[in-house]
Chains A and B, each alone.
Chain A
Amino acid sequence: MSKLALPFVSSLALVMTAGLAAAQVPAGYPADYAQTIDAAKKEGKVVVYGTTDAAAANFLVKDFEALYGIKVEYNDLNSTELYNRFIAEAAAGQGTADVTWSSAQDLQIKLVNDGYASAYKTPEAAKIPSWANYKDSAYGVTYEPVAIVYNKRLVPADDVPKTHADLLKLLQSKPDFYKGKVTAYDPERSGVGYLFFTQDDMAWKQAWDLFKAFGKTEIKLYTSAGAMIERTTSGEHLIGYGVFGSYALSRSKKDPNIGIVLPKDYTLIASRVAFLSNKAKNPNAGKLFLDYLLSKRGQTIIANQAELYSLRDDVEGEATVAKVKEQVGDAIRPIQINGDLAANLDTVKRLKFLKQWQAAMKGQ
């Protein structure tokens, strides 16, 4: 190569890559984001541990890969597995997830507090609600109403509860009809169940009356949403309390027997929390993926294909903030993603709550 050509070629290459990258920096992002994208492309892949099932996550994975040409290694784990695997791998220093994304909000906050996260202020921060941002480190990604499901065939139309208070009244007025026919997560055996019930306790002063009514009607408690929804649709149970609205929604599309109620007095909003690992081998690709999850493009897929409910106001579609507000107005009560969630894991507090719960299950 001649002396003249060398600088020319290299500057051409520079212009070309800059041009390519610049074209890809999403609107509204800082210009130096192009460097993150370049670095991410060099890394070539991003490793994600998530609790969202592979089918739902796949819509996001495919779109992200199409957008950046960076491969996503998505590992579908349950929340306890995710926690176990992540802390062991971090301790061994052998490489672990670049991004973790879990529905166990409290465990995620604990991991951030225990120093496993890398602080990162996403360019999308202004577009997402403040309750979903924990110290610019962990972000809520979804907006999943905690719903009541019921069997449309077998629950009389007048019985269908519109609010938590309605449900309490129903169980008090027809205890025999609903004996053994109501189901919920078991707070003693399921982390999600524990989280939802403690949130009820904070949100509503009659929560314990409802729990006692559960006890009196011999509620059946499960460890998985699948078992609850399946047994509600079969008629073995009639009402399922405290189910992820996202699961209920996708199920109700296949099965017309499932009715969904978002309680009008208050509806808890759960969110799957994501953060970047500070042991990440692909930190830049991790940033891209996190930003993508929160971006309008990613959230549109969350709302319309993955059916996990988008938390951005500017996203349109079926599973969105607007649609939830249409049903319950201002009675939304997002579970705040903050330090209190980690306190939720305090053993003494838990054992105390569970003791009270056991008494309630005996109707006391």
Chain B
Amino acid sequence: MPFALFRAAVLAIMASAVLAPIGLIVYQSFLDGPFFQPNVHFSLEAFQFVLEDDDFWEALVTSIIVAGGMTAIAVPLGVVLAFLMARTDVPGKSFLEPLILVPIFMSAVVLAFGYVVALGPVGIFSTLFKDVFGVVPWSIYSVTAITIIAGLTHVPHVYLYTSAALRNLGADLEEAARTTGASPWRVAVSVSLPMVTPAVLYAAVLIFFLGFELFGLPLVLGDPKGILVLATYLYKLTNKLGVPSYQLMAVVVVAIILIAIPLVYLQRLLLASSQKYVSVRGKAAKRSPLRLGGLRWPAFALIVLWFVVSVGIPVFGIALRSVVVTWGEGVKLAEVLTLAHYRDLVDYPNAINAIVNTILIGTVGGAISVGCYTLVALAMHRWRSGWTRVADYLVMIPRSMPGLVAGLAMLWLFLFIKPLTPLRATLVSVWVAYTVVWLAYGVRLVAGTMLQIGPELEEAGRSVGATRGRVARDVTVPLARTGMLAAWLLIFLIFVREYSTGIYLLGPGTEVIGSLMVSLWGTGAIDLVSALAVINVLIISVGLGLALRLGVRLHG
């Protein structure tokens, strides 16, 4: 197949996969009722209602603050973490690596609830602190707390992006700097980091976007004070009017898309001369980790500190909740210990099924998704054409739909587009929905590492007569494998946690852990939710640890 045809086909498939749900939503925003019902008319009332609603503006401002704040926290921390883990001789790396990723796959609701048990007004640590000092000086029910927790728990995303790029980086530049006497810190700031700017920028924009989509964390931590962000505003909107009002939800999505467009533009501007980030040259150099010297243990302490705050505390909270009957002020924990919740879980219908499905969609589904993302990245790779600009925007747009809306849009697609209808009742529809919504996250990770490959390597292939396809297969893809592996890891973790996008497509037999947790949460069975979360963390941490040890090597 000629390469041009391949490019056109990939672009066309991607465009239709993205534009179908988005087009549906935009169309819906201009109607006065659900698009599929008779007697709906063109109307701008939905825009008027949302724009005149004080709650919308309040939610928008809060979302911008939270998204901006969490980006400002997650990006620097993620980059430092990635540098330490990928490039230095910080102790305990193989042990820390799987643990660093825990916050990605923890459901946000559960994570937030873990903080409530640990640091809430009557949390374990809060009451201890109160016994000693008389007061609890912090409150986790505030915009500040939501921002900090969101920032800390999104560090792993940045970490994955940056470390994939760093691991693809030739060591020669860093070593040159080191031999001229630069400190490890200096090497990081002046040599390594500038070379991975594209990856960091991608990560920053994507994190900012996740900030708009944030739902579980503000739902649990913002509930007591009624703090609204855009995703929880959608909730409120539905209820205020009594029945779900799709046109109003659609307007909110249109607003988020309007914010997305300038962001993608900015990112393109900053990356205009991608040539300067090329770092994989045709010269093999054995890499040895940078020696931190005296900074080794302080660096280790920094990682452990981050880990304790963003993983240790909430997981401890959840784990504790899963083995007690009750908790809080005036409870002696030793008297309320129990394993009953785990026993109850075994009896819960479909719990085992859900665990299996979740892992299946994460591993197998994730791998196929990364395959698709790689094709997209390859098609756009070094394509000097205006179409790449279109692709940059296309990739980004699906995540403008908060989970609640994305789920609906996907249901509508599989219902109203005839050729898709037979797939609706299968796991395939769920997989398609996940793959489309998380497009940007996978594609950017793979494309970022492809950008680092020196064009001369590919040109060498071309000059000895290889076709474009052959070069892609034998040169570009093998050299971008760190990115692909990182993408698979990220997508696996995201799919394991995801459920809202697929909620309307899931049925008996295709349930996943996420949907199970949410329905349990709704009826107040938080003890079972905690037990399920602990099992989830255990399975995935052990799986990750094994995978990393057995050869899914992120270390180049």
In the bound complex, what is the Cα–Cα distance between A225 and B523 (angstroms)?
A: 6
Contact B328 A235 (CB under 8 A): yes
Q: Is the CB of A350 within 8 A of B242?
A: yes
Residues of chain B contacted by A226 (CB below 8 angstroms): 520-526
Chain B residues closer than 8 Å to A346, beta-carbon distance:
242
Q: CB distance B244 to A84 under 8 Å? A: yes
* Chain A, Cβ-Cβ closest to B341: A254
B340: chain A residues at CB < 8 Å are 254
A186 vs B225: C-alpha distance when bound (angstroms): 11
Known A53-B520, A226-B526, A236-B121: A74·B415 in contact at CB below 8 Å: no
Determine whether A73 belongs to the interface, using a CB cutoff of 8 Å to chain B. yes
- Residues from chain B with a CB closer than 8 A to the CB of A256 are 325-326
Complex Cα gap A251–B421 (Å): 41
Closest to B327 in A: A234
Question: In this assembly, does A257 line the interface, its C-beta being within 8 Å of a C-beta of chain B?
Answer: yes
Question: Once bound together, how far apart are the Cα atoms of A78 and B326, in whole Å?
Answer: 26
Chain A residues with Cβ under 8 A from B225's Cβ? Answer: 220
Are A224 and B522 CB-contacts (below 8 A) given A75-B507, A110-B243, A345-B243? Answer: yes
Assuming A88-B412, A227-B220, is B239 touching A194 (CB within 8 A)? yes
Contacts of B120 in A (CB 8 A): 234, 236
8 Å CB contact of A223 from B34, B223, B518: B223
Q: How many residues of A contact B (CB 8 A)?
A: 62
| Closest chain A residue, CB of each to CB of B330 | A153
Beta-carbon contact of B223 and A54 below 8 Å: no
Residue among A78, A189, A228 making CB contact with B519, cutoff 8 Å: A78
User: How far is A129 from B107 in the complex, measured between Cα atoms in Å?
Assistant: 43
Q: Is B350 an interface residue (CB 8 A)?
A: yes
Interface of chain B residues 74 through 120 with chain A (CB within 8 A): 116-117, 120
B240 / chain A contacts, CB cutoff of 8 Å: 188, 350-351, 354
Chain B residues lying within 8 Å of A225, measured Cβ to Cβ, are 522-524
Please determine whether A58 and B349 come into contact, CB atoms closer than 8 angstroms: yes
Give the Cβ gap from B347 to chain A, nearest Cβ, in Å: 8
A221/B415 in contact, CB under 8 A: no
CB distance from B417 to the nearest CB of A (A): 10
**A8-16, A27-35, A89-97, A165-173: which lies at the B interface?**
A89-97
Which residue of chain A lies nearest to B528 when distances are taken between CB atoms in the complex? A55
Closest to B415 in A: A92
Secondary structure at chain B's binding surface: helix, strand, loop or mixed? loop
Contact with B along A76-118 (1 / 0, CB 8 A): 1110110111011101101000000000001100100000000
Other-chain residue from A88, A194, A231, A345 in contact with B415 (beta carbon distance below 8 A) = A88
Nearest Cβ on chain B to A187's Cβ, whole angstroms = 8
Chain A window 171-203, contacts with chain B (Cβ cutoff 8 Å), 1 for yes, 0 for no: 000000000000000101111001000000000
Option from B239, B331, B527 in Cβ contact (under 8 Å) with A254: B527
A189, closest chain B residue (CB): B236
Per-residue CB contact flags for chain A residues 232-275 toward chain B (1 = under 8 Å, else 0) read 01111000000000010001001111000000000000000000
Q: Which of A76, A92, A257, A350 contacts B326 (CB 8 A)?
A: A257
B1-55 residues at the A interface, CB under 8 angstroms:
34, 36-37
**A residues in contact with B421, CB < 8 Å:** 92, 94
Question: Which of B37, B329, B408 contacts A234 (CB under 8 A)?
Answer: B329
Within 8 A of A (CB), among B511-545: 516, 518-527
A229 at the interface (CB under 8 A from B): yes
Chain A residues whose CB sits within 8 angstroms of the CB of B327 once the complex forms? 233-234
Is A230's beta carbon under 8 Å from chain B?
yes
Smallest distance from the beta carbon of A203 to chain B beta carbons, Å? Answer: 20
Which residue from B238, B328, B504, B524 sits with its C-beta under 8 Å from A85? B504
Known: A92-B416, A235-B329. A53 touches B239 (CB 8 A): no
B424 interface hit (Cβ, 8 Å): yes
Query: In chain A between 116 and 135, which residues have their CB closer than 8 angstroms to a CB of chain B?
Result: none
The answer to whether A80 and B242 touch (CB under 8 A), given A88-B412, A226-B526, is no
Among candidates B239, B348, B524, residue contacting A188 with C-beta atoms closer than 8 Å: B239
The answer to whether the Cβ of B224 comes within 8 Å of any Cβ in the partner chain is yes
Q: Which of B249-285 contact A (CB under 8 A)?
A: none
**Pairwise interchain contact B330-A53, C-beta atoms closer than 8 A:** no
B311 to chain A, nearest CB (A): 22
- CA–CA, A257 to B330, complex, Å? 11
Q: What residues on A are CB-neighbors of B350 within 8 Å?
A: 54
**Across chains A and B, which 10 residue pairs bring their CB atoms closest together, nearest first?**
A234-B328, A235-B329, A345-B242, A226-B524, A92-B415, A235-B328, A91-B36, A220-B224, A58-B349, A53-B523
Taking A221-B224, A235-B122, A345-B242 as known contacts, 13 extra A-B pairs with beta carbons closer than 8 A to each other, sorted by chain A number, are: A77-B503, A78-B518, A85-B504, A106-B242, A153-B330, A188-B240, A191-B239, A220-B223, A226-B520, A234-B328, A236-B328, A257-B331, A346-B242
